[in-house]
């Protein structure tokens, strides 16, 4: 059996039939599907070691705590952080960005200060910074894009000032698939003494991440975009930042001692994990990481590159198609429009042929505004997608054209 | 099949060549409606004569379902009183969300009955109607 077919066997949901058609799941940028080992890990946790962590002295609690901390260690290794203390579990990337925008800014952002983001960010890497700027009287500065919708790095230097307190940028664009030159951006920020947050939501499933090599200050991850469960993610932050930042939320777990006069906070990372965490999801995310690590990365990278090339080739044969975002360096995400047909209509019609794609602005309204459209149809691939999925999409697009133009 | 049910000729026709698609010069009321899910934007213009809709038109950008629904709506509500329009909208909403609804009084609107099988598209089909109601408020 070929390698990809073998991988497909690990994902039960891929066998789903939609309206009499084999499911072609091409909405992986929204969320990836889960392999059997991840589903089993959730089941096993609740069936064998479910207990609250860090507070019990009994058998189950000790086991749950160990498995939970083991998951933290797996995330640490996955992004090559220096210590598990630098990994804070969150609900996902959104909460991780909010944690920094809230906690870091409370400590370091003052009236008149500036934060830099880019025009191609997901709303979750825009709105938390807008809120922080509003709260502290700071200004948001936006790095513009080039004509091909890539970050215009020639404009970056002039954005830095002595007032710049943070630069936040995504590793990979969820709308267009562009892999941003974050290494270069980080070194420019470093030269200007500005800390950097990288939104890694789209990177986990496609790109090798090494936070020490990148030398970023913050990096955010979502488990569900890299074959793990929903509701769990992580914030990586350099230890020195976590030590200087005030807590994000108050509650159990994040304290050492509470009196009505004084509270002593727990050690990092626990200082940032108020309340009972999503233990089962963390452990199952660890299982997803184990699963990913055991795969042949070279084979998968080759497969995904080949798939992107094949998809672009086949789709470009569809009359009236326009692509958005064709960077040299990109993950297998294709954003497109079909003549004057609204993306929502495209999405509904291809669904009747078993094809799942995302349509709309992809939570990137400022980017869509810049392009001058209200949204796109987006096919986003994962390692388990095949050329057959691409063919099925192309056939479904022919049906879209039949409905609207009466011909193929 | 479902799809041909949803994208009937009438819907594609109204969706790609909408009627009453212009700003009404002499409108007395207007409102803008927005569907953040898909970025659909519709602007409805109304000329009220007492309680009666003397004229109505719309502009905007949207999918075939929302455009067709707006187009058919403008054809249908012209000359009707606001009370009649409210009753018609209620019947239309029921058609999109409840089983076994009568299509008798809905005329061309019943072409949108297929939307019922696509719950995520109900908002597209009702956007112009909500906007019309907003415009006629006050």
pLDDT digits (tens, 9 = 90+) for A174-213: 999 999 999 999 999 999 999 999 999 999 999 999 999 9
Cβ <8 Å between A344 and B7: no
Separation of alpha carbons B115 and B109, rounded Å: 11
pLDDT for the residue A1: 62
Farthest CA pair distance, chain B: 45
Which residues are bridge partners to A255 per DSSP?
A265
> Taking CB atoms and an 8 Å cutoff, what residues of chain B touch A345?
7, 15, 63-65
What are the tens digits of pLDDT across the range A251-264?
888 888 888 888 88
What is the Cα gyration radius of chain A?
A: 22
Q: Which of B86, B93, B25 is nearest to B59 (CA)?
A: B25
Q: Could you report the predicted ipTM of this complex, rounded to two decimals?
A: 0.87
Q: Is the peptide bond before A269 cis (omega within 30 degrees of 0)?
A: yes
Supply the mean pLDDT for chain A.
96
What are the tens digits of pLDDT across the range B99-127?
877 766 788 888 898 898 888 889 999 99
- Scan for tokens 């469960």, then name that residue: A229
Q: Which of B50, B51, B55, B53 is nearest to B25 (CA)?
A: B55
Q: Which of A105, A133, A216, A363 is catalytic?
A: A363
> Taking CB atoms and an 8 Å cutoff, what residues of chain B touch A342?
38, 62-64
Cβ <8 Å between A360 and B121: no
* pLDDT at A12 > cutoff 90: yes
pLDDT for the residue B137: 86
Q: What is the mean pLDDT of residues A335-345?
A: 95
Farthest CA pair distance, chain A: 76
> Taking CB atoms and an 8 Å cutoff, what residues of chain A touch B69?
none
* pLDDT at A408 > cutoff 80: no
Q: What is the CATH number of the domain that holds B46?
A: 3.90.1010.10
Burial class (CB within 10 angstroms; exposed 0-12, middle 13-18, buried 19+) of B90: exposed
Separation of alpha carbons A167 and A115, rounded Å: 6
Q: Which of A339, A313, A314 is nearest to A400 (CA)?
A: A339
Angle at A164 (CA atoms; ends A158, A170), nearest 5 degrees: 80
Task: Mark out chain A residues that contact chain B at CB-CB < 8 A.
Answer: 19, 340-345, 348-349, 352, 359-361, 365, 368, 374-375, 399, 403-404
* pLDDT at B138 > cutoff 80: no
Enter the tokens of residue A357: 């794609």
Q: A202, A183 in Cβ contact below 8 A?
A: no
3-state secondary structure of B40: strand
Domain count, chain B: 1
The CA-atom distances, in angstroms, between A15 and each of A24, A222, A255, A302, B22 are: 9, 25, 47, 24, 48
Lowest mean pLDDT among A169-173, A187-191, A263-267, B29-33: A263-267
Q: A28, A381 in Cβ contact below 8 A?
A: yes
Burial class (CB within 10 angstroms; exposed 0-12, middle 13-18, buried 19+) of A232: buried
Domain span including residue B53: 2-136
Separation of alpha carbons A120 and A292, rounded Å: 28
Q: A266, A242 in Cβ contact below 8 A?
A: no
Separation of alpha carbons A228 and A39, rounded Å: 9
Separation of alpha carbons A408 and B28, rounded Å: 45
Pairing between β-strand A164-170 and β-strand A196-199 as defined by DSSP bridges: parallel
* pLDDT at B4 > cutoff 80: no
The full set of domains in chain A, from first to last, is 3-26+296-405 (3.90.1150.10), 50-293 (3.40.640.10)
* pLDDT at A407 > cutoff 60: no
Enter the tokens of residue A377: 């149809």
pLDDT for the residue A121: 97
Q: A13, A33 in Cβ contact below 8 A?
A: yes
Around Cβ A322, how many Cβ atoms within 10 Å?
Answer: 11
Cβ <8 Å between A348 and B62: no
Nearest CA in chain A to B7: A403
Cβ <8 Å between B1 and A352: yes
DSSP string, A112-150: T-EEEEETT--GGGTHHHHHHHHHHT-EEEEE-B-TTSS
- Count the helix, strand and coil residues of chain A and give each as a percent rounded to the nearest 5: 45, 20, 35
Enter the tokens of residue A211: 């936070």
Active site residue A363: yes
Enter the tokens of residue A220: 């955010």
pTM for this predicted structure: 0.94
Q: Which of A376, A310, A305 is nearest to A338 (CA)?
A: A376
Q: Is the dihedral of CA A292, A294, A297, A303 positive or negative?
A: negative
Angle at A16 (CA atoms; ends A226, A315), nearest 5 degrees: 70
pLDDT for the residue A283: 98
Q: What is the mean pLDDT of residues A11-30?
A: 97
Q: B31, B134 in Cβ contact below 8 A?
A: yes
Q: Which of A300, A340, A133 is nearest to B61 (CA)?
A: A340
Q: Which of A29, A8, A22, A2 is nearest to A308 (CA)?
A: A29
* pLDDT at B65 > cutoff 60: yes
Residue A197 dihedral angles phi and psi, to the nearest 5°? -110, 130
């Amino acid at each position: 059996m070929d390698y990809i077919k073998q991988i497909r066997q690990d994902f039960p949901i891929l066998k789903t039939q939609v309206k009499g058609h084999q499911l072609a799941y091409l909405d992986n940028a929204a969320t990836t599907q889960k392999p059997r080992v991840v589903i089993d890990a959730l089941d096993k946790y609740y069936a064998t070691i479910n207990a609250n962590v860090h507070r019990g002295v009994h058998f189950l609690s000790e086991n749950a705590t160990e498995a939970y901390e083991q998951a933290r260690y797996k995330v640490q290794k996955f992004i090559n952080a220096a210590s598990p203390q630098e990994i804070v579990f969150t609900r996902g990337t959104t909460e991780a960005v909010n944690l920094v925008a809230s906690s870091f800014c409370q400590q370091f952002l003052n009236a008149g200060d500036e934060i830099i983001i880019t025009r191609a960010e997901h709303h979750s890497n825009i709105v938390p910074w807008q809120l922080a700027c509003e709260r502290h009287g700071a200004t948001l500065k936006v790095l513009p894009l080039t004509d091909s919708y890539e970050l215009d790095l020639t404009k970056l230097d002039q954005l830095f000032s002595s007032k710049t307190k943070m630069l936040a940028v995504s590793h990979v664009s969820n709308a267009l698939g562009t892999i941003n030159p974050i290494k270069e951006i980080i070194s420019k920020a470093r030269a200007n003494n500005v800390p950097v947050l990288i939104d890694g939501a789209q990177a986990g499933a496609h790109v090798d991440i090494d936070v020490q090599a990148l030398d970023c200050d913050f990096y955010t991850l979502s488990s569900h975009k890299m074959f793990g469960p929903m509701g769990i993610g992580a914030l990586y932050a350099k230890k020195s930042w976590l030590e200087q930042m005030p807590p994000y939320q108050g509650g159990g777990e994040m304290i050492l001692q509470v009196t009505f006069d004084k509270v002593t906070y727990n050690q990092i990372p626990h200082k940032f994990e108020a309340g009972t965490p999503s233990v089962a999801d963390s452990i199952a995310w660890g299982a997803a990481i184990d699963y990913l690590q055991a795969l042949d990365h070279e084979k998968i990278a080759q497969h995904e590159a080949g798939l992107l090339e094949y998809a672009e080739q086949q789709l470009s044969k569809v009359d009236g198609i326009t692509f958005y975002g064709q960077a040299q360096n990109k993950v297998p995400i294709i954003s497109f429009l079909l003549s004057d047909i609204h993306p929502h209509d495209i999405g509904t019609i291809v669904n009747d042929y078993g094809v799942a794609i995302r349509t709309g602005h992809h939570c990137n309204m400022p980017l869509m505004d810049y392009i001058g459209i209200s949204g796109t149809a987006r096919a986003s691939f994962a390692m388990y997608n095949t050329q057959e999925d691409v063919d099925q999409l192309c056939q479904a697009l022919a049906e879209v054209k039949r409905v609207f133009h009466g011909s193929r | 099949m479902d799809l041909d049910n949803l994208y009937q000729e009438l819907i594609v026709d109204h969706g790609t060549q909408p009627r009453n698609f212009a700003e009404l010069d002499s409108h007395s009321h207007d409102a803008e409606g927005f569907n953040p899910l898909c970025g659909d934007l519709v602007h409805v213009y109304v000329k009220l004569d007492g309680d009666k809709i003397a004229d109505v038109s719309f502009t905007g950008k949207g999918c075939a379902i929302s455009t067709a629904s707006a187009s058919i709506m403008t054809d249908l509500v012209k000359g009707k009183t606001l009370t009649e329009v409210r009753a018609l909208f209620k019947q239309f909403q029921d058609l999109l969300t409840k089983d076994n609804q009568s299509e008798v009084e809905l005329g061309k609107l019943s072409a949108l009955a297929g939307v019922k099988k696509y719950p995520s598209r109900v908002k597209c089909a009702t956007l112009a109607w909500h906007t019309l109601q907003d415009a006629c408020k006050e």
